[in-house]
Amino acid sequence: MDYTVIRTRRRTAAIQVRPDGSVVVRCPLFLSDARIRQLVEARRDWIQAQQRRLAVLPPPPTPAEEQALQRRGQAELPGRVAHWAERMGLFPQNIRITGAKKRLGSCSGKGNVCFSRHLMACPPEIIDAVIVHELAHLRHMNHSPAFYQLVETYLPDYRQRMERWKKGR
C-alpha cells in the first residue's frame, strides 16, 4: 500500500485518507519506518474502507455548479426559512448562504443562521430538517433532549429523515 509520511514534532501518529484516496501518515520525528509500516498494515481494512467510500462519492461540484447552488439557495432558502420560522415562532436576525462544505447549517449566539449552498443539492425533506434544526437553536443553543423535543414537535420524523439521508448519500 502506497502512503506518504510527514514527520513533525507531534507526539502521536495519525493516518489520513485524502479525498483523492491517497494515504498520508503524520507521525513524530523519531518513529521508525518499520513502525510506520506496522501502523499502516494494522489499519489496512479501515484505509481500504475509506478509499471505497470515497470512490462512490460524487465528484465535487464545478464552479458553475457552485454558482447555480448559490443562486438557488438565495432564491429558495429565505422563503422556506420564513415558512418554518412563522410556524415555530422563532425568527433569525439574519440568513446567510455560505460555501461551507463540512456542515449544512449553523446558528450563532446572536441569532444569525447560515446555510451552505450545498444544502440545495439535498432532497427537500432534508432541506426542511436542516432549517428546523437551525431555527431550534434560536431557543436551545445545544443538542439537549429539550432541543430535539422542539425539533420533533415540528418534524416528528426528524431522526428518521436524517438517518435515511446519511445511509443514502
Question: How far is residue 35's CA from residue 144's CA, in Å, rounded to a whole number?
Answer: 43
Domain positions in the chain are 4-56, 63-168
CATH architecture assigned to 63-168? 2-Layer Sandwich (3.30)
Instruction: Identify the CA nearest to 117 among candidates 73, 80, 81.
Output: 73
Answer whether 6's CB lies under 8 Å from 26's CB. yes
Reported as a single tens digit per residue, the pLDDT across 91-135 is 999 999 999 988 999 999 999 999 999 999 999 999 999 999 999
Provide the pLDDT for residue 169: 58
Low-confidence ranges of the chain (pLDDT < 50): none
- Pairing between β-strand 23-28 and β-strand 4-8 as defined by DSSP bridges: parallel
Alpha-helical (H) ranges within 43-94 are 44-56, 63-88
Cell 489496512 belongs to residue:
44
Q: Quick check: pTM over 0.85?
A: no
- Pairing between β-strand 112-116 and β-strand 105-107 as defined by DSSP bridges: antiparallel
98 sits in which H/E element? strand 94-98
